[in-house]
Amino acid sequence: MADKLFLELVSPEKLLVSSDVDNVFAAGAGGAFGLYPDHSPFCTALVPCVLTYAIGQETYKVIVSKGFLEVADNKVNVLAEKAVFVKDIDKAKYQSAFDALSSELNAEISEDERLEKEADLKFYELALNN
């Protein structure tokens, strides 16, 4: 019985987390889920959400945009297109990105682009509200 999960969270810009954790919570294509040690092998697409993980009594929050999560052998790999620690959020910067995106969404755009922009918007919205 393992009592820890090894979590690695990477975005194209950097490696955010690489450590032993007690649990991980996130939301995937099929809804929100929690991972504890000895979880069965599982792979899902992530939707923009707040990913939380705990080390002892401390919990940490990371905002992730769409990406992928894979669990096997007590290793959790998270690949996120964008990811930021809640404590590192620069509100002003995210607010302006949020505003820019919302105005873009009001304009005429194709369906694919709309889906993509809406996902980005969700990411910024989460970042601002946490």
Partner 1 sequence: MASARDIKRKINSVSNTQKITKTMKMVSAAKMRKAIEAMQSARPYSVKLAELIQELSNRAGGNAEHAFFEAREEVKTIYLVVVTSDKGLCGAFNSNILKVAQTFVKENTGKTIKVVPVGKRALDFFAKRGFEIVEKWVGFGGKYTFSDAINVGKLLAKSFTNGDADEVHLIYNEFKSTSSQIVRSKKLLPLAVEGGSEPNYPDFEYEPDVAELLNTLLPQFINTSIFQSMLESVAGEHGARMVAMDNATRSAGEMIKKLVLNYNKTRQAAITTELLDIVNGAEALK
Contacts to partner 1 by CB under 8 A: 8, 10-15, 28-30, 40-45, 66, 68, 70, 72-73, 77, 79, 81-82
Nearest approach, Cβ of residue 48 and partner 1 (Å): 14
Neighbours of 63 (CB within 10 A): 26
57/110 with CB nearer partner 1: 110
- Residues 17, 20, 24, CA angle at the centre, nearest 5°? 75
Two tokens, residue 44? 């899902």
14/58 with CB nearer partner 1: 14
Nearest to 21, CA basis, from 50, 66, 57: 57
59/99 with CB nearer partner 1: 99
Nearest approach, Cβ of residue 57 and partner 1 (Å): 28
47/126 with CB nearer partner 1: 47
Nearest approach, Cβ of residue 114 and partner 1 (Å): 14
* H or E stretch covering 112: helix 111-129
Dihedrals φ, ψ of 73, to 5°?
A: 55, 35
